[in-house]
Amino acid sequence: MTAATSETVNLLIDLVRRDSVTPDDKGCQDVLGDRLAAAGFELESMPSGPVSNLWARRGQQAPLLVFAGHTDVVPTGDINAWSSPPFSADIVDDHVIGRGAADMKGGVAAMITAVERFVTAYPEHPGSIAVLLTSDEEGPAVEGTRHVIDVLQQRNESIDYCIVGEPTSAHTLGDVIRHGRRGSLGATLTIHGKQGHVAYPHLADNPVHRAMPMLSELTAIQWDTGNEHFPSTTLQISNLHAGTGATNVIPGDLTVEFNLRYSPETTIDAIESRVNQLCRDHHLDYDIAWKDSAHPFITSPGTLTNAVQQAIQESTGLVATLDTGGGTSDGRFIAPTGAQVIEFGPINATIHQIDERVSCKDIDALTQIYESVLIQLLAKRED
């Protein structure tokens, strides 16, 4: 038997037991929607294709404070490698173990109970609260938050503050808040040569040999040095393929995929023209396809970052660092509307891993932090 668990941890367990691998929501949003409806929220289901999205709002006045999150999870990997089944949500050493426990059903459970507590204490609160949930954050992310934001923008429903409950803490709950993210730009570069026999290289043109000096230069480029909020832009090659499998054939083509995580100090245009110039300098016969998947964004330190930092300090004693590291998140779709957006949630050390876990104590502290932000931004507001 385990010790009694809090209401937030019980909700987290219920969510983890639903194997909601992208884009399948497996009823998570129904459970959460029922609770929000009972707390006085108006629910709007906004499905798109196979994706479930929920927009739940309480109040019609500004400012609007939104909690955003996703109910989908990444696949488990080898189930037998888990120390307890990934969808059983066992509690071991005061941690809930399971796929999605940290990314991000823990954050979602905490935002729901925080909102419930807040509206019980302040039923006539000024401003409005909304919860935005999607089942497509870990996948293509086209029909999820982006879709909901499109609908909101079409009807001029604007968000003032948004807290995304992604796991941003690094070592201790409350050490890191993300107030922006780098951009992400992908490329698939195909270098054309001429296939032939390895014994007759004068009759062929080896694209591997052509590519190597160019790739070596590409990976050595210093794109920028970042700025006070962003680390410098980086490029990583993720896939490289050439060859027929035979050892006596010079391949006809080489394909390389790479991705840049870029700061606002470098633009997409600058990256593309520099890569094209490099290909021309190396006299390559090539095609390149770009994938623009996220633009960088930043929320300047101000009302929202201050409220979250203060709430963290009250609950944990820590002074949280503002940071723009990590991968992309749905904040990229919300920030361009002009909203102040931050991401804050549990420790991310085990996300997407075997034995993903989150501390019950942290989940309870997180609820308290979210509730304190609500109090600061809505209840203590001066009209």
Residues noted as catalytic: 72, 137
Of 105 and 117, CB closest to Zn ion: 105
Piece of the chain touching Zn ion by CB under 5 A; list 39-47, 99-107, 151-159, 206-214: 99-107
Q: Please tell me the distance from the alpha carbon of residue 65 to that of residue 59, in angstroms, as a whole number.
A: 10
Shortest separation between residue 334's beta carbon and Zn ion, angstroms: 14
CB of 241 to Zn ion, least distance (A): 30
Of 116 and 356, which has the nearer Cβ to Zn ion?
Answer: 356
Please identify the residue of the shown chain whose CB is closest to the bound Zn ion.
103
Look up residue 316 and give its two tokens: 């944990």
Interface region with Zn ion, contact rule CB under 5 A, candidates 101-109, 174-182, 249-257, 373-381: 101-109
Q: Which of positions 28-67 make contact with Zn ion (CB under 5 A)?
A: none
Which residue lies nearer to Zn ion by CB, 76 or 128?
76
Rounded CA separation 346/167 (Å)? 4
Which CB, 166 or 362, lies closer to Zn ion? Answer: 166
Q: Mutual orientation of helices 28-38 and 7-16 as an angle, nearest 10°?
A: 150
CB of 74 to Zn ion, least distance (A): 9
In the bound state with Zn ion, the residue whose beta carbon lies nearer, of 63 and 331, is 331
- Taking a C-beta distance cutoff of 8 angstroms, is the pair 16, 82 a contact? no
Pairing of strands 42-45, 53-58: antiparallel
Q: Hey, CA dihedral for 78, 83, 85, 91, is it positive or negative?
A: negative
Check residue 323 for interaction with Zn ion (CB under 5 A): no
For 380, the 3-state DSSP assignment is: coil
- Cβ at position 138, least distance to Zn ion in Å: 6
In the complex, least distance from residue 368 CB atom to Zn ion, rounded to whole angstroms: 21
**Counting contacts by CB under 5 A, is residue 103 touching Zn ion?**
yes
Q: Does 330 bind Zn ion (CB under 5 A)?
A: no
Rounded-to-integer distance, Cα 220 and Cα 251, Å: 26
CA angle 133, 99, 259 (to 5 degrees): 75
- Pick 157 or 355: Cβ nearer Zn ion: 355
Binding span for Zn ion by CB under 5 A among 44-52, 95-103, 139-147, 277-285: 95-103
Q: How far is the CB of 103 from Zn ion (least distance, A)?
A: 4
Task: State the binding string over 154-173 for Zn ion (x if CB under 5 A, else -).
Answer: ------------x-------
- Closer CB to Zn ion, 143 or 166, in the complex: 166
Q: Is 304 in the site for Zn ion (CB under 5 A)?
A: no
Question: How much is the CA Rg of the chain, to the nearest whole Å?
Answer: 24
Instruction: Give the sign of the dihedral formed by CA 208, CA 213, CA 219, CA 224.
Output: negative
Cα three-residue angle 74-75-81, rounded to 5 degrees: 125
Count of residues near Zn ion by CB under 5 A: 3
DSSP structure string for 219-284 = HH-------SSSPPPEEEEEEEEE--S-TTEE-SEEEEEEEEEE-TTS-HHHHHHHHHHHHHHTT-
Exposed / middle / buried, residue 157 (Cβ in 10 Å: 0-12, 13-18, 19+): middle
Residue 46, C-beta contacts closer than 8 angstroms, at least 6 positions apart: 53, 54, 55, 147, 148, 151
> Residue 104 interacts with Zn ion (CB under 5 A)?
yes
Give contact residues for Zn ion (rule: CB under 5 A).
Answer: 103-104, 166
